[in-house]
Structure 1
Amino acid sequence: MTQEEILELSKKVSKNTLMETLDIEFTEAGDDYLVARMPVTSKVHQPDGVLHGGASVALAESVGSLASYVFLNTEELFVRGIEISANHLRSISEGFVYAKASFIHKGRTTQLWEIKITDEENNLISLVKLTTIALPKNK
């Protein structure tokens, strides 16, 4: 798939989902990575006015799961997240955060992703690991 095809697919699969609710937009795709961004507004704040860790994790799982979907044979397989862990390192109250999902391990059954969430100045906001599983579709 080309970058344009991946980004077009991301718009299609985001309709009427949490990704649309959180205004997550996929912005870049390479041979083994995918990038999305999310605006940091009051919609994704915790009560004290900074980005909610749960919104960061939702962004990370969205970009990592779609990356698995794009980079695996999903005509024969379906992909699900099975484990996620996040370290939140810095707070942010406005602007955009960017999540870049890169493979750590690309197995036939399980995939391990590193997702770095950064701000507009490339400061690391959160570091996330996501494990996905690819299982055969019932025919």
Structure 2
Amino acid sequence: MQVPDDLDPELVERLVASGGGELAVKMGIDFLELSAAHSVARMPVEGNRQVVGLLHGGAHVVLGESLGSVSSAIHAGPGRFAVGIEINATHSRSATEGWVTATCDALVLGRTLCTHEIVIRDEAGERLSTVRMSNLLRDVR
């Protein structure tokens, strides 16, 4: 996993120890690059398909939210945390096999709010879905 040098050590420790969280581990999500402005992860289609053999739409959202949340937490910095307040997804194509890759780019990195757009593509580079997520940044009490 590629992470910036100035990343909060406590956040890095939590990410490494948890594999990105229990659900991310169950889904097989691999975090490849992490930063507030740009992050990348991938996920296998196998094990994440719905009954007719397509990658489940909810799996797209889990992948997108995993990246958007971590990117927002990175931006929040030490002593702060990110809480998801809105997410939506538009599915354009489907996948039945292989891996999908999500690229997360910041639209807004504010003092109290982050918004990211996450584009999920198949191995051929075709856009499968677009996820947009907003996170509220809070201080740890």
TM-score range, shorter chain: 0.7 to 0.9
Q: What amino acid does structure 1 have at the position aligned with 2:96?
A: S
Paired residues, what number? 134
Give the 3-state SS of the residue equivalent to 1:122 in structure 2. Answer: coil
Alpha-carbon distance change, 87 to 32 in structure 1, aligned in 2, over 3 angstroms = same
Q: Measured at CA, do residues 19 and 125 of structure 1 come closer, stay the same or move farther in structure 2, by a change above 3 Å?
A: same
SS at match of 1:102: strand
| Alignment match, 1:39 | 44
**What are the residue-to-residue correspondences of 1:32-111 with 2, within 5 Å?**
32-41=37-46, 43-73=47-77, 75-111=78-114
Q: Distance in 1 between matches of 2:34 and 2:70?
A: 11
Structure 1 counterpart of 2:27, one-letter code: L
What RMSD in Å do the two structures reach over aligned CA positions?
2.0
CA distance in structure 2 between the aligned counterparts of 1:29 and 1:135, rounded to whole angstroms: 20
Match of 1:3 in 2: 3
What is the CA–CA distance in structure 2 between the aligned matches of 1:118 and 1:129, rounded to whole Å?
15
Equivalent residue of 1:111, what SS?
A: strand
- Normalised by the size of structure 1, how large is the TM-score? 0.88
| Structure 1: gaps of 5 or more residues | none
Instruction: Give 2:17's aligned residue.
Output: 12
1:76 deviation in Å? 1.7
Deviation at 1:122, TM superposition (A): 1.2
What is the letter of the counterpart of residue 113 of structure 1?
A: H
Partner of 1:131: 134
Query: Structure 2 length as normaliser, TM-score?
Result: 0.86
Cα offset, 1:20, TM superposition: 0.4
Structure-1 separation of matches of 2:81 and 2:32: 23
Compute the displacement of 1:70 (Å): 1.7
Percent identity reads: 35
Q: Output the CA distance in 1 between the equivalents of 2:29 and 2:87.
A: 19
Q: Gaps spanning 5+ residues in structure 2: where?
A: none
